[in-house]
Each structure stands twice: as structure tokens, then as C-alpha cells.
Amino acid sequence: MRAHSVLIASNRGPVAFTLSDNGALTMRRGGGGLVSGLSEVVRGTDVLWVCAALSDGDRGAVRQAPGGRLDQAGNDTGPVRMLDIPPPIFHRAYNAVANSTLWFVNHLLYNTPTAPQFDTRFRREWESYREYNGAFALALAEEAAHDAKVMVQDYHLTLTPAMLRVERPDLRISHFSHTPWAPPEYFSLLPDDVAAEVLSGVLGADHAGFLTARWAGAFMDCCEAFLGARIDRAARTVTHEGRTTRIGVHALGVNGAGLRARAAEPDVESHMTAIRDLVGDRRLIVRIDRTELSKNIVRGLAAYREFLGRHPEWHGKVVHLAFAYPSRHDLPEYREYTAAVQRCAKEIEDEFATDDWDPLILNVHDDYARSLAAYRLADVLLVNPIRDGMNLVAKEGPILSERCALVLSREAGAAAELGPDSLLVNPYDVSGTATALHEALILPEEERIKRGVRLREAATAMPPHRWFEDQLAALG
């Protein structure tokens, strides 16, 4: 058995495999912010990354690799162990509990007159979530050296820290939440025993990390309300059943130099040329999101529509580039939401487009190089989530455009650092967002540049390497 001294665990791993019709496997990088930040950190190291097989392609790769260890996973990552969790268990844990329950609770997304309903079906799903968390705990227990540091990531794996501690009391364990944490009055939607199990699961860690002081505070409030844990808010500790967990705030940022270098590559330049050919010298309002229910794309489009309605002087002079990339299409709510985004976009086209002006370009096909091109050309970046752990789009934009004004939801974690230099909006206030779009467009050049300098400083204050090192250090 290999013994690693640092391990990461997350649902999605740094590599993904596609199975072609003739049975051949192709490897690509795993997607998403969590994965790209951490990949950069572990590249070329011996940090073992334990993740789940997410697709048939992944399962095929695991079955070909002894013990699921993809040690040659690609020169982009360190060693990887992928867990082949039976698909029905994986789907109940990932889709039903992680994405349809814990994600909904932490992002305040329920339409409460009809959902949620915690019934016998949920209990079966919850049992699968336990099994899935248990599979991670077991694999980590097998792979970790004595006294190793294990860094468990996100809401998919809230039970793993406590399970792992039972197996391996010698380990130093951290848990990091990349999402917001719900305040007690909303967390209380969960059945009491489930709420308690989630919280005690995370408290199995020695260190529980959050992206902002607000989410860390909400977690401590929940521990007090549901477990009767002793909280020391000044020292940021939670004591429960004789053990103390330290709470940390680690505001993940961006590697500015790395991002700028990537954005200077020829594929990005050619996308810039293509965008310029399309929009000419019109001003550009940009948004870049995965089409997640929390991203508030529909209200963002409604705000743009109201802005055009109230400001005919901008007709023909501005274009909204809205990149809304596919996400979690296994869930019906996500498919419906994507359709709603497309409907809104069509209505804007129907109402305002003329022969020589397309007010809105909606793009639903993921293309990283094109996103970077859009950042570089943006006059205004719209980031208006209902709620978001951090939101790295808000940090990437200002790094790539010196004169980009940021319209930012006050409910995004990034608002804690970027708020003073952005135009902050209440994400539900469509009219307020429309006003902010207008104010952002007319913000004087000098003021944009001044704010841009401070935004870049804040955005690059804690690049992924430092973020990771800080958490390792917090484990002693």
C-alpha cells in the first residue's frame, strides 16, 4: 500500500475520461473552479487526489487501472485514485443529496410551498450519501501515511471527516466549503438528524475552512443551534463532544500572472478578433457563468432588458455577451432553467434587435479561450448570483481588463473583498441591477482604472498556491 503524506478528496477529480464507440478511452482535464485551482497546486507533486468516477468513461479507466490508481493520469496532475462507486449510489449521493438538497439549502434556492419534501425516498438517498462518503473515508484511510494531512473538499463530502477520524485518529483532517453556508433559520429545513449529522461530519475535521467570514459565521451559528456546540467566535473555534475544531477563512483568489499568460495565447487573440468583428466598437457588457440555479442569469437578462427599455440612447451602442455554459443536466430543474435563459434571450432579441444591431449574444457552449477573450474586451462585467461561495469570475475579469467596471451581487462571497470598488446590487432587484448596468457604462474612464487597480490587488491577494499552503499550515 502506498502511503501519502498529503491527500485531497473531492467529488470531481482533475481528470475525466470519455469512452468512444470503439471502446477507446480519451482523457481530458476535469472541469470547474475547484478542480482548476487545486490542479495548479498539485501539479508535479506527490499529493494524492481521491475522487469519484463520474461517467462510464471514468469507470472504464478505473477498471483498467490497478486499484483505481491512475498514477500516470497526465503530466498535469499528481497521482489520482478514482473510486468506482456503484452508479445508483453515486447518483443518489451526487444528484439527489449533494446537488438537490445541500446545494439548495446552502444557496437558499427552495421554492418552499412545494419543496423540499423529506420522505422515505429521501431517506434512501441519504443512506447512499452516507455510503458514498464512507467509500471516500475508506480509500483515504488506506492511502494515508501515519499523521498525514487530508484535505476534504465541499458539500459532497460533509460526512467523510468524521468517518475518517473513526478509522484513522492519527490523521490531521481539514474540510473546505466552496459554497456559502446557510444561516440556522434556513438550515433548519433539513430534518434535525440530517442537519446534526452534516454538522458533526464536518466537525470531524481539525480545521473547517470557508471562503468568507460570513459563511464561517453561519456554520458556527448552525453548530450552536443544532448541536448545542460551544462556540468561541473571537478565537473561531467550535467545541463539540470534547473535541475542538478550528474554523478558518481562506478567501480563494486567482493566479494573476498565470491567467494573463493564458489569456495572451493565440487562440484567445483569435476569439477577440471574432468578437470585435461581430460587435464593432460597441460597448460590451459581459457575463460568464455555468448555468447553475444560483447564478441568477434570468434576472440578469431581465435587468438588461429593463436597461434597454429605459435607455433608448444606448440602442445600437451596446451588446450583452452572455456566456451560460451547461451544468448538471441530469437534474430537471437545471434543464428547465437553461430553457428559461434561452426564452429570455429570445424575448430581448424580438423586442430590440434591428437589421444592424444584435443587442444580445447568448452562448451556451463552453469555450474557455472565448471566455478569456470576452473578459479582455469587457467594459462591464455582470456577476449577480443569488448567493455564491466566492465567485471567481468577479476576480478574473478585472485581472484581464483594466477598464472593466464590475456590477456585483452583494450575496457573492467576492463582495467581501471587491465590494468597495464594484457597483453592488441586490440580486433580486432587477430594476436596481438595470440602474447599475447604466451607471457602470457611464463610469468615467479614470474612475474605472483607479478601481481596476484595487480590484486586481484584491483578486490576486490569495492565489491557489497560498490558499492551499495556508490550509496545510492550519493543520500544524
**Interface positions with ligand G6P (CB under 6 A):** 11-12, 32-34, 154, 178-179, 327-328, 389
Which DSSP letter does residue 153 get? Answer: E
CB of 337 to ligand G6P, least distance (A): 14
Q: Rounded to 5 degrees, what are φ and ψ at 236?
A: 55, 65
CB of 192 to ligand G6P, least distance (A): 25
CB of 212 to ligand G6P, least distance (A): 13
Beta-carbon contacts of residue 349 (< 8 Å; ≥ 6 apart)? 358, 359, 360
- Between 12 and 207, CB nearer to ligand G6P: 12
3 state DSSP class of 432: helix
CA atoms within 13 A on the CB side of 186: 18
CB of 150 to ligand G6P, least distance (A): 17
CB of 342 to ligand G6P, least distance (A): 20
CB of 53 to ligand G6P, least distance (A): 13
CB of 158 to ligand G6P, least distance (A): 12
Cell 460551544 belongs to: 230
CA angle (311, 315, 319) in 5-degree steps: 110
User: Cα(185)–Cα(94) distance, rounded to whole angstroms?
Assistant: 24
CB of 290 to ligand G6P, least distance (A): 7
Residue 242 burial by Cβ neighbours in a 10 Å radius (0-12, 13-18, 19+): exposed
- Between 92 and 448, CB nearer to ligand G6P: 92
Residue nearest ligand G6P (C-beta atom): 178
- Between 229 and 254, CB nearer to ligand G6P: 254
- Between 73 and 360, CB nearer to ligand G6P: 73
User: Cα(440)–Cα(452) distance, rounded to whole angstroms?
Assistant: 13
**Is-contact 472 47, C-beta < 8 A?**
no
User: Cα(400)–Cα(258) distance, rounded to whole angstroms?
Assistant: 11
- Between 39 and 179, CB nearer to ligand G6P: 179
Residue 282 to residues 197, 308, 319, 359, Cα–Cα distance (Å): 53, 14, 7, 10
- Between 178 and 246, CB nearer to ligand G6P: 178
Q: Which long-range contacts (CB under 8 A, 24 or more apart) does 27-33 make?
A: 27/61, 27/73, 27/74, 29/74, 29/76, 31/366, 32/290, 33/178, 33/392
- Between 178 and 250, CB nearer to ligand G6P: 178
- Between 292 and 306, CB nearer to ligand G6P: 292
